[in-house]
Chains A and B, each alone.
Chain A
Amino acid sequence: MNIQRKYSLPNCTLLLEGLSDVTRAAQFQEMRPELSILVNAECYLSGYNQPLTGGREFFESLVRAVSGYAQEFLSSVPNPQAHNQESELVEFQKIDSNRHRLIIHSEGTPEGFESHSKNSKRPPIEIDLNTVQLFDLVEAVDQFFADSQTLPELSLELQPVTRGYGGASQALVRQAVPAAVGVSTLAVAAIAFNLIPPPQMRPPQPKPDEQSSSTTKSLTPVASSAATPIAAATPTASTKPAVKDLEALLNTVPEITDPSQLRALNRQVYNQIHPAWTNRSGLNEELIYRLGVAADGAIVGYKALNKEANLRVGQTPLPNLLYNPANRAPISNEPIGQFRVVFNTQGVLEVSPWRGYASTPQVLGAKITDSNIVKGLNQKLYNAVRKTWSGTPTFTRDLKYRVAVNKDGVIADYEPLNQVAFDYFRETPLPKMFNAIYGSNVAAPNNKEPLAHFQMIFKPSGTLEITPWQGYQQ
C-alpha cells in the first residue's frame, strides 16, 4: 500500500512517500498504517521552486544535519552532526546569526565517499535560510520524529556536545559576535568529528505539546483504508447527532459494569486512540469526551463534555475511529461500556471508566495456576527477556508491566502499569517480542487459552525482576 505523509509548516513542507509492511498492515485495516519503507522524500522550502529530493540516505542525512544544527543554533557551540562533509549528504554552514546555509551534496556516485571524487559529482545545492525558515525545517523534522507511524525506528536523539571543543567562554564570544566567528569555527569543528562518542542520552519520544496554531501538521494517508462512518454514527460539525445517539443508545442497552471487562476495554480504547492521535499540539484547553464502547472495543459514540471539545473534535481522531457498520454488524442490543477520554494540553491522553471501577479489576481469561508450571514459565520468560535486554537504560524509574505467557512460554499479552512504562516501552524487548508473533504492538490480547500472568519490572540499574501476578494495585 502506497502511503504519503506530509508535515507542513509555513516555510517548509516535508513529503514522505513509502510503503507499509504488508504483514503488519493486514492486521490493522482501521488504523493509520505504518510507513515502514521509505521510497521518496521531498523537502519544499519557501522561495525555492524545486524540492530537495532523495531516498532514505538523503532523508536520514537531512534529519541528522537539521537536528545537529538546531542544537548549534541554540547553544552557539558547533555541532559535529551538522558539518559532516565527509560522510553526509547534507550539511549546514552558519553565515551569520540570521543566515544559515543548507548544503546538499549529490547522492549515489558509484565511487562512493572514499575516493572523494568530487569532480564526478554534480555541484552541491546551496540554500540560505533565515532563522524562521530554519525553524520551520526543524519543526517539520520534529513532527516527523514525533509521528510514531512513520519510520518509527528513526527517533529524536539529543545529546550535548562534549567538552574538549567549544568551551563555555568561546560560546559566549560567538553569541556576542556571531558574524565574525561563525565561519571560522567550521574548520575546527571538522577536526573534532572523530572525537565524538556514540549517543549516551536517549530521551523518550518527544511528547508534542501545546503550541500556537500558526504551525500545522497535516497527515494524508493516500489510499487510506480508514473507516468512513456513515450517517447514523457520524458526528456533524457540531457533534449534536452523536450526542443524541450516544444517550439514546445508553437508554436502550445494558451497560458494562464488570470492572475486569472495563479494564480490558479501557486498554482497547487507549490502544485505538493513542496511535491515531497524531497532531498533539495546538490545544489551549483540554478536550473531554464521554465514549460508548461495545464489548469488542468498537467505539460506538461519543459526546463532547466541554465547549472546546465540541469545537475541536476534528483535531482528535475520534470521528475516524467511530465504528464502521460496513465492517461490523450493526449495534442493536449490545451492552455498552462508558469511558471518559481526555486529550490534555500537554499532549497526554487519559482514558478511564466513566464511573470508575466498582471493585479491583481482575485479568480476564483462564489462568495457569499450577505453581510448578508457573515457576518454570517464570524462568523461561526471564531468560527470553534477559537475552534481548541489555545496554544502559536511560529511564530513571522502574518500568512495571503485566506480562502474560501461554503454556509454551510464548508471550500472549503485555500491559504497562505505570506511566514511565508507557513512555519507555520501546526500550524494553516487549514490543519486539510481541510484534514478532502478532505483527502489531496493540493486537487484542490472546485470551483464548489459559495464561500465566507475571509482573515484570525493568530497573534503571539494568536489573530485571519477574514475579507471579498479584493483581492490579488499586
Chain B
Amino acid sequence: MNVSASLTPFNSPTQDSLPTILDTLPSPAIASKTCPRRTRLQIDLILLAIEALELGGSEAILAFAQELDLKGIVKDRVNLWRMRSSNPLRRAHMRRPLTIMEAKALVVIACYMARRLTVVIRQLLMICQQMEEKQIPLEQNLRLSNYLERFRAHFKSRMNARRSGLLALSSDEKLDELAINLLGQLLFCTGTAGMQRFWISLFDGEVE
C-alpha cells in the first residue's frame, strides 16, 4: 500500500497498456492497422540517414529502444531488421506489414536519436548551404562528403535500385540529393513538436 518515493503521483494505468511515450503520437485515421507503403519507406530512410551520421547507428537504435522502454516492440536486432525490411525498396524486402505501433516506436527512437545529433545535423546543413552559395561541389567538404559517402554506401548495399521506380535513384547525384533532403527532415525531427510533426507527415495523402 505504500507508494515509494520514486513513483509518479498518479496511478498510471500501465499494466495492460503500451509505453506511454507512444501516446504522444495519435493514430492516423486510416482503415488498416498497418502502415502504407510511403510510411514504411520513409521511416527506413530516415533511420538510414541516422546510420550514415553516426557509426554504430543500428546498435544505437537498439540501445534507445531499451532506454525508452520500447523493448516490448523493438525486441532485438532480427526484429528490427524485419521491421525495416517492410520498406519496399529493400533488397530483402519482406511482405510483412509494419503495424502502427511498430512505426510509432521507430519514429520515437529516430526522433530521440536525431535530437542527440542536433548540432551535427545543423552544421552539415549550414555547410551545405554555404557550399551551394559559393557553388562549390559538396564533396569538397570533408564532413559532408563523409556523410554522403556513407549514405550512398548504406543505400546501395541494402536497397534494390531497380525497385526505386519513380525515385530513379540510379545516380550518385540523386542519392546525394536524397541524403540532403533527409538531413533537413532530421533537423525538423529535433524540434519541440518535431516528433509529432514527422509522424503526422508520414500519413499525408494516405487518409480519406
Report which A residues bind B (CB closer than 8 A).
Answer: 70-75, 77, 79, 97-98, 130-132, 135, 138-139, 142-143, 145-146, 156, 158-163, 165-173, 175-176, 178, 200-204, 206-212, 214-215, 266-267, 270, 281, 340, 346, 348, 350-360, 394, 396-398, 416-423, 472-474
Residues of chain B from 145 to 193 with CB closer than 8 A to chain A in the complex? 165-169, 174, 177-178, 180-181, 184-185, 187-188, 190-193
Distance between Cα atoms of A212 and B90 in the complex (Å)? 32
Whether the Cβ atoms of B38 and A172 lie closer than 8 Å is: yes
Q: By CB atoms of chain A within 10 A, which of B23, B191, B192, B198 has the most?
A: B192
Whether the Cβ atoms of A340 and B6 lie closer than 8 Å is: yes
Q: By CB atoms of chain A within 10 A, which of B3, B20, B116, B195 has the most?
A: B3
Shortest Cβ distance from residue A266 to the other chain B in the assembled complex, whole angstroms: 5
Q: Which of B9-17, B47-55, B56-64, B74-82 contacts A (4 or more CB under 8 A)?
A: B9-17
Whether the Cβ atoms of B208 and A203 lie closer than 8 Å is: no
Residues of chain B from 27 to 81 with CB closer than 8 A to chain A in the complex? 27-29, 36-38
Provide 17 A-B residue pairs closer than 8 Å at the C-beta atoms, listed in order of the A residue. A73-B185, A97-B181, A131-B184, A132-B187, A139-B192, A146-B193, A156-B196, A159-B207, A163-B208, A167-B205, A200-B29, A204-B24, A211-B191, A214-B122, A351-B9, A417-B11, A474-B2
Whether the Cβ atoms of B6 and A130 lie closer than 8 Å is: no
Shortest Cβ distance from residue B165 to the other chain A in the assembled complex, whole angstroms: 8
Distance between Cα atoms of A356 and B197 in the complex (Å)? 38
Distance between Cα atoms of A146 and B181 in the complex (Å)? 27
Contact of B1 among A143, A211, A359 (CB under 8 A): A359
**Within 8 Å of chain A (Cβ to Cβ): is B92?**
no
Beyond A212-B118, A396-B27, is A138–B191 a contact (Cβ under 8 Å)? yes
Distance between Cα atoms of A203 and B25 in the complex (Å)? 7
Whether the Cβ atoms of B193 and A97 lie closer than 8 Å is: no
Contact of B180 among A97, A156, A169 (CB under 8 A): A97
Q: Which residue of the partner chain B has the closest CB to A357? A: B3
Beyond A210-B115, A211-B115, A355-B5, is A423–B23 a contact (Cβ under 8 Å)? yes
Q: Which residue of the partner chain B has the closest CB to A416? A: B10
Distance between Cα atoms of A355 and B3 in the complex (Å)? 8
Beyond A160-B201, A178-B181, is A270–B9 a contact (Cβ under 8 Å)? yes
Shortest Cβ distance from residue A96 to the other chain B in the assembled complex, whole angstroms: 10
Shortest Cβ distance from residue B129 to the other chain A in the assembled complex, whole angstroms: 5
Shortest Cβ distance from residue A202 to the other chain B in the assembled complex, whole angstroms: 8
Whether the Cβ atoms of A207 and B24 lie closer than 8 Å is: yes
Report which B residues bind A (CB closer than 8 A).
Answer: 1-13, 17, 20-21, 23-29, 36-38, 112, 115-116, 118-119, 122, 125-126, 128-129, 132, 165-169, 174, 177-178, 180-181, 184-185, 187-188, 190-198, 200-208
Contact of A175 among B7, B167, B187 (CB under 8 A): B167
Whether the Cβ atoms of B125 and A131 lie closer than 8 Å is: yes
Whether the Cβ atoms of B206 and A160 lie closer than 8 Å is: yes
Whether the Cβ atoms of B205 and A419 lie closer than 8 Å is: no
Contact of A206 among B13, B126, B192 (CB under 8 A): B192
Q: Which residues of A contact B201 (CB under 8 A)?
A: 71, 74-75, 77, 160
Shortest Cβ distance from residue B74 to the other chain A in the assembled complex, whole angstroms: 17
Distance between Cα atoms of A354 and B207 in the complex (Å)? 48
Contact of A172 among B4, B26, B167, B187 (CB under 8 A): B167
Distance between Cα atoms of A202 and B28 in the complex (Å)? 11
Distance between Cα atoms of A360 and B5 in the complex (Å)? 14
Contact of B26 among A71, A97, A394 (CB under 8 A): A394
Q: Which residues of B contact A207 (CB under 8 A)?
A: 24
Distance between Cα atoms of A357 and B166 in the complex (Å)? 62
Q: By CB atoms of chain A within 10 A, which of B190, B198, B208 has the most?
A: B190
Distance between Cα atoms of A174 and B189 in the complex (Å)? 20
Beyond A356-B3, A394-B26, is A160–B174 a contact (Cβ under 8 Å)? no
Q: Which residue of the partner chain A has the closest CB to B27? A: A396
Distance between Cα atoms of A474 and B178 in the complex (Å)? 53
Q: Which residue of the partner chain A has the closest CB to B42? A: A75
Contact of B2 among A170, A357, A398 (CB under 8 A): A357
Whether the Cβ atoms of A201 and B28 lie closer than 8 Å is: yes
Whether the Cβ atoms of B29 and A176 lie closer than 8 Å is: no
Whether the Cβ atoms of A160 and B28 lie closer than 8 Å is: yes
Contact of A73 among B27, B122, B188 (CB under 8 A): B188
Whether the Cβ atoms of B200 and A71 lie closer than 8 Å is: yes
Q: By CB atoms of chain B within 10 A, which of A397, A418, A419 has the most?
A: A419
Q: Which residue of the partner chain B has the closest CB to A162? A: B207
Whether the Cβ atoms of B5 and A353 lie closer than 8 Å is: yes
Beyond A79-B204, A130-B129, A176-B167, is A397–B17 a contact (Cβ under 8 Å)? yes
Q: Which residues of A contact B21 (CB under 8 A)?
A: 346
Distance between Cα atoms of A71 and B193 in the complex (Å)? 11
Beyond A71-B201, A97-B177, A206-B193, is A418–B13 a contact (Cβ under 8 Å)? yes
Whether the Cβ atoms of B192 and A211 lie closer than 8 Å is: yes
Whether the Cβ atoms of A176 and B129 lie closer than 8 Å is: no
Distance between Cα atoms of A215 and B201 in the complex (Å)? 23
Distance between Cα atoms of A419 and B19 in the complex (Å)? 12
Whether the Cβ atoms of A77 and B205 lie closer than 8 Å is: yes
Shortest Cβ distance from residue A348 to the other chain B in the assembled complex, whole angstroms: 8
Distance between Cα atoms of A202 and B12 in the complex (Å)? 22
Q: Which residues of B contact A178 (CB under 8 A)?
A: 177, 181
Closest 9 CB pairs of A and B: A212-B118, A74-B201, A160-B203, A77-B204, A75-B204, A75-B201, A206-B193, A158-B200, A142-B192
Whether the Cβ atoms of A142 and B193 lie closer than 8 Å is: yes
Contact of A208 among B126, B166, B192 (CB under 8 A): B192
Whether the Cβ atoms of A176 and B166 lie closer than 8 Å is: yes
